[in-house]
Amino acid sequence: MRKRPREYGAVADINIANLVDVVLVLLIIFMISAPLLQSGIEINLPKTKTAALDEETHGVVITIDSLGGIYVNDRWAGPGRFEDAVRREMESERTSSVFVRGDSAVPYGLAIEVVGRLKEMGVNSIGLVTAHKEKSSRRR
C-alpha cells in the first residue's frame, strides 16, 4: 500500500468566539474609562430653578473647588495668577465669554472676587454655571 501525501486545504470559516471575546473586553474597557474622561474636578454646583440653556455655549470655564482652588479649563491656575491663564485661553479659543463654576461651599466673597478680577481684565460676558433643581413632588 502506498500512502498518499496529506493534502491540507484552506479553511474558510471564521472563529467567531474569539472575536466576541475581544469585542466584549473592549466594551468593558470603554465603559470603565468613559466616566474618567470627564472633568476631573469634583464640585457640587448650587441648584436653581432656572431653565438650562438650550444652545451650545462656548467660552473659557473657570472652576472654583470647595477648597478655594481656581482652575481655568480644568488646569490649575491658582488664586494669585489666574488672569494670565484666562487671557491665554481666551486668545487660543478666540472667545470673549467666561463661565464661572463654583462649588456651593465656596465663600461668596471668593466668587465675587473672581468675578471682579474678570471685570478688571475687561471681560464683559461672564456667566455663572448652576445645576438644575428638580421639582419636588410633595403634595399638600
Structural domains in the chain?
A: 47-132 (3.30.420.270)
Helix (H) or strand (E) holding 30: helix 16-33
pTM over 0.75: no
Structure-model confidence comparison of residues 50 and 89, the more confident one: 89
pLDDT band at 51 (very low <50, low <70, confident <90, very high): low
Instruction: Label residues 2-28 b or e (16+ Cβ within 10 Å = b).
Output: eeeeeeeeeeeeeeeeeeeeeeeeeee
Summarize the confidence of residues 52-66 as an average pLDDT: 75
More confident residue, 73 or 36: 73
Dihedral of CA atoms 87, 93, 97, 99 in degrees, nearest 10, equals: -80
